[in-house]
Amino acid sequence: MSDRNNDGAITIGGQPLTGGMLWLAAIVLAAANFVAVLDMTIANVSVPSIAGNLGATTSQGTWVITSYAVAEAVTVPLTGWLAARFGAVRVFATAMGLFGVASLLCGLANSLGFLVFARILQGFAGGPLMPLSQTLLLRIFPPRMAPAAVGLWAMTTLIAPVLGPIVGGWICDQYSWHWIFLINIPVAIGCAFAAWNLLKRYELPKLKNPIDTVGLVLLFTWVGALQLMLDEGKNLDWFASGTIVTLAIVAVVGFVAFLIWELHEEHPVVDLRVFRHRGFSMSVLTISLAFAAFFAANVLTPLWLQSFMGYTATQSGKVTAWTGLFALMVAPMAAGLSAKVDPRKLIFGGVFWLGVITMWRTVATTEMSYWDIAMPLMLMGWGLPFFFIPTTGLALASVEPHEMDNAAGLMNFLRTLSGAAAVSMVNTEWENETTRQHAELVGLTDRSGEMLQGLQQSGLTPQAALQTLDHLVTNQSVMLATNNIMTVIAICFVLAASVIWLAPKPQRVVAPGAGGH
């Protein structure tokens, strides 16, 4: 028998949480989402340390990142099916506990093979944490507080990838790489214990549908192939490699077969029919485009700062952290307005603002000071909450309550996939564009030879003068390439802002029973 209090919160076997206990549960859910997202990027700057310690090459060490990403990408869209069959709270608490166990195994790993195995387990456990933390937050909060719940979840999702490299680099510098995984253990154990004891009253009846084995195999096949292609494409020179071509073919054929099967299966492992809701489809498209653009800019900035502006990992982390800090300041306002204003207006304004600020960044120079770089990053923070908070709310408000877990899983899956694709494309295109710009500048620089003569007259040897000139050309080539890519990112933001107007005006807010079955 279910109970409903005056706020409309639905529980089974107990009264809804209120006051401090409600916010404690919210912090537990947000912390779980934070560590799952954090571990997507925390190992990025630690790969050289890990590889060196375990006797592997840096290229082999990237599997520490790839293995987690592939495993997580596979399990995120399964969240709806897992929650329906075993119960959302049970799946969440179990996944949180397994995440802690996998983190312990990662920290104790003494070989690359064992570490990759442990990272796969960690990714499998981390996948359901993102969408379930979102839908459980919406389930425990009454409707009038739903925007605040979405805002809390959205901020952990946006800030964790920014903090990951900073925290990972600092831990490796001060301690050892093992601790980037071991720090998860107390959080995982505490969250698993607290989540079960606080949230089991919100568990809803389970559906014992048959297991869609074919759909499950097809999902593992095409998502795994696609993620591997995106992660290894740059290292293997993309489609010049037979491995990448094979992975691309497997991904395309597997996706088409998966699409056909799931649309005709009575009990699909991933219910794609949720895309019949135009509001959900357009919100997810907006999230995917805008998150890809945000992730691309977020990856490119520290690469540029550390490789060519002389910044250390810690210094570049401090610069990019301004975005998250300002986003936190504005988040409460965005959450409040989401309940009062047509969310499409907020989304358009927030994403368009991100596009405008990114366009400002297309005129960057190598002479910029710390604050010249930090200022646009601060202003980007103002726009992020107005993009992510109302878009997430609009997407979940557009589907039926019983479709909520599945919708959240698909939304998080496509957001993660778009971010991964953006990182791969930016890394490749940045190098290619730098090479093109370098070739053009070499033909235009110092045609008369006056600069080279001047450098030699200042006391440099001919070889040193040539190296100095090439260094100047390379720096300008990188700057031009960075600005050109920022232009593309800005256009992507503007396109994402425009897409949201294809969504119908929402007729309701997200209900507290979101994620029910």
pLDDT digits over 183-225, tens only?
Answer: 889 989 998 998 888 888 777 777 777 777 888 888 888 888 8
What is the mean predicted confidence (pLDDT) over 479-486? Answer: 89
Distance CA 198, CA 311 (A): 45
Average pLDDT, the chain: 80
Element of type H or E holding 4: strand 2-4
Residue 513 pLDDT more than 60?
A: no
Residue 4 pLDDT more than 50?
A: no
Distance CA 397, CA 57 (A): 47
Distance CA 339, CA 331 (A): 13
pLDDT digits over 50-98, tens only?
Answer: 877 787 776 666 677 777 877 887 788 888 778 888 888 899 999 999 9
Distance CA 357, CA 487 (A): 11
**What is residue 10's three-state secondary structure?**
strand
377 vs 39, residue with greater confidence: 377
Q: Residue 385 burial by CB count (10 A; 0-12/13-18/19+): exposed, middle or buried? A: buried
pLDDT digits over 456-467, tens only?
Answer: 566 666 666 666
Confidence of residue 359 (pLDDT cuts 50, 70, 90): very high
What is the mean predicted confidence (pLDDT) over 151-157? Answer: 75
Distance CA 25, CA 199 (A): 8
- Per-residue confidence (pLDDT) for residue 2, from 0 to 100: 45
- Per-residue confidence (pLDDT) for residue 468, from 0 to 100: 66
CA neighbor of 9 nearest in space, from 27, 17, 26, 206: 17
Q: Are 76 and 128 in contact (CB under 8 A)?
A: yes
Q: Which of 34-38, 307-311, 322-326 has the lowest mean pLDDT?
A: 307-311
- Per-residue confidence (pLDDT) for residue 418, from 0 to 100: 83
- Per-residue confidence (pLDDT) for residue 458, from 0 to 100: 65
Q: Would you give the DSSP letter of residue 511? A: P
What is the mean predicted confidence (pLDDT) over 481-489? Answer: 91
What is the mean predicted confidence (pLDDT) over 133-149? Answer: 78
pTM metric for this prediction: 0.75
What is the mean predicted confidence (pLDDT) over 124-146? Answer: 82
Distance CA 416, CA 295 (A): 10
